[in-house]
Amino acid sequence: MSQAAPARPGRASLVGAGPGDPELLTLKAARIIGEADVVLYDKLVSAGILALAKPGARLVDVGKRCGRHSMQQAAINRLILTHARAGRHVVRLKGGDPFVFGRGGEELETLRDAGVPVEVVPGITTALAVGAQLQVPLTHRGVSRSLHLLTAHNHADALPDHDWAALARGGTLAVYMGVRTLPLLAARLLAAGMDAATPAAAVQNATLPTEQRLFGTLATIAAQVTESGGDGPTMVLIGAVVGMAQRQALGDTPLHEAA
C-alpha cells in the first residue's frame, strides 16, 4: 500500500549559527530556528541558540565536529530528507556559516536532487568573529590586501596540498581545523618563504565565555598551541595584521593567554 503524501509539503533551511555567542546570530536565523519543527544541530552550536526553538520542536544532536563525526554525513543527509518528506520544516543548524567548511553544499545538493525546497541563511564565519574579538582588521590598507580562508585538515586527516608559495606571499591567513596539523602548516609556510616573525594568534572557543587567546609568531604558534592544550574549536590567524592586536595586548586591553 502506498503511503499518503503529507498534507503540507516539507522544506529545509540550512542555517548558520555563527561562532557561538547567541547575539551573533542573524535575526533571520533566530526567526527560522523558532519556526522549525525539527532542528538538526552540530556540536559547535551553543545552548543559548538552541533555546530559541519552539516548544515541542525536535532537537537532534548530529554531533559533528572537526574529525569527530558521531553521525556520518550521508546519515545526516538522509535524516534531513526523511523529516522534510514527512511534511516537516527542518532546520540544519551549523556552526559559523553553512558554506564555509560546513558541508552545506553537500546537503544542498541532496535536497535539490530530492526536490525538497531549501533555503540558505548565512552565519558569521569564525574568521570574521575572531577578527572582531581580537580587534584585528582582516584586511588593512597598506598591510594586508587579501584574506585566505583555508583548512589545515583534509578527508585523510592530513595537511591539504595548498599553493604554499601563494599563501606565504602575504595577506591574512585564517586557518580552520588547524590544531593537529599546525606544526606541518607552519613548516610549509616557512619553507615557502614566509617570515618566521610574522605575527600569529590562536583563539579557542571564540565569542564564548570560555574563549582563550594566544599570541606568537609563525615560528612559535604551533608549539604554543600544543603546550596550552584544550579541546575547544580553535582558529589560527597568521599575518601582519595580527600585530595590531598584539600592540593592543601590551596596552590596556585585557587580552589573556590560554592557561
Ligand X SMILES: C[S@@+](CC[C@H](N)C(=O)[O-])C[C@H]1O[C@@H](n2cnc3c(N)ncnc32)[C@H](O)[C@@H]1O
Report the residue number, 77 or 126, with the smaller CB distance to ligand X: 126
Q: Which of 171, 169, 152 is CA-nearest to residue 160?
A: 152
Interface residue with ligand X, options 189, 206, 245, 258 (CB under 6 A): 206
Report the residue number, 74 or 197, with the smaller CB distance to ligand X: 74
Least CB distance to ligand X at residue 28 (A): 16
Q: Which of 97, 107, 119 is CA-nearest to residue 77?
A: 107
Report the residue number, 85 or 103, with the smaller CB distance to ligand X: 103
Please pick, among 21, 37, 42, 97, the residue that the annotation labels catalytic.
42
Least CB distance to ligand X at residue 66 (A): 4
**For residue 83, what is its C-alpha cell?**
523529516
Q: Is 64 an active-site residue?
A: yes
Q: Is 42 an active-site residue?
A: yes
Q: How far is CA 198 from the centre of its chain?
A: 24
Residue 200 and residue 4: Cα distance in Å, rounded?
Answer: 58
Interface residue with ligand X, options 88, 90, 97, 186 (CB under 6 A): 97
Please pick, among 37, 64, 94, 97, the residue that the annotation labels catalytic.
64
Examine residue 14 and tell whether it contacts ligand X (CB under 6 A).
Answer: no
Helix runs in 66-181, H state only: 73-85, 104-113, 126-134, 164-168
Of all residues in the chain, what percent are helix, strand and coil, respectively (each to 5)? 30, 25, 45
* Contact residues for ligand X, defined by CB under 6 A: 19-20, 44, 66, 94-97, 100-102, 125-126, 176-177, 203-207, 233-235
